Structure 1
Amino acid sequence: MIKHIVMWRFADHAAGADKATNLELAKQQLLSLDALVPGMLKLEAVVPQDPFEHSYDLLLYSEFTSVEALKAYAGHPDHLAVGRFITEVRTERVCVDYEV
């Protein structure tokens, strides 16, 4: 199984909206990707309720049966569209993928 974790920090204002609006939009867009491809086992998108100063603004946690399933997700047009929106409104991104 492959675990895929991504975290972002968002700009205070971007794409004509404030941070809270963009976070909610991004979260809902990410949640719409659940079960997007065969081999996707789990998808969670979380906005921390009371983040600490060092916390990221949005977290994506997902699990896949294989590297091939993760690659299918990464290249899917719906995923790419969400990625384009998040790129417009984020200031930082970190990602880790690992096999268990």
Structure 2
Amino acid sequence: MVRHLVLWKYKEELTEEERNKLGGEAKKKLEALKEIIPGILSLKVITKTLPTGSGNCDLMLDSTFISEEALDFYQNHEEHIKAASFVRSIVGSRICVDYEE
């Protein structure tokens, strides 16, 4: 199994209202991919972080794939490319890590 974790920080200029609305849209678009793209074991988007101030990211994708090949297929799938394009339009930075379990 392969884990694919992505953390994003919203663009600075977004208001709290915009962050809530657009984050919800990102969650919906990304989580829908689980039913569309084969090889995804789990996929969850976190949009609500704790208000403690200890975190430095706003959104997180936590996903698991059956193999490295399945992750590669996902990343190049046209529906993922569309969802990723939307996410890029609302975020200013991205951090990603992939690892085998």
TM-score range normalised by the length of the shorter chain: 0.7 to 0.9
The answer for unaligned runs of 5 or more in structure 2 is none
Correspondence list, 1:27-46, <5 A: 27-46=27-46
Identity %: 33
In 2: Cα distance, 1:82 partner to 1:67 partner = 20
Q: Secondary structure at the match of 2:34?
A: coil
Aligned residues: 98
The answer for unaligned runs of 5 or more in structure 1 is none
Q: Which runs of 4+ in 1 moved over 6 A?
A: none
Query: TM-score, normalization: structure 2?
Result: 0.86
Correspondence list, 1:62-81, <5 A: 62-81=63-82
Contact 2:49 2:58 in 1 (8 A): no
In terms of fraction of residues, the more helix-rich structure is 2
What's the offset of the Cα at 1:38? 2.3
In 2: Cα distance, 1:60 partner to 1:84 partner = 15
In 2: Cα distance, 1:86 partner to 1:38 partner = 21
Contact 1:35 1:42 in 2 (8 A): no
In terms of fraction of residues, the more strand-rich structure is 1
The residue aligned with 1:7 is 7
The answer to whether 1:83 aligns with 2:84 is yes
After superposition, the C-alpha distances for 1:33-58 in whole angstroms (9 at most, x for unaligned) are 11432221111111124343242111
The residue aligned with 1:61 is 62
Q: Which amino acid aligns with 2:18?
A: D
In 2: Cα distance, 1:90 partner to 1:54 partner = 19
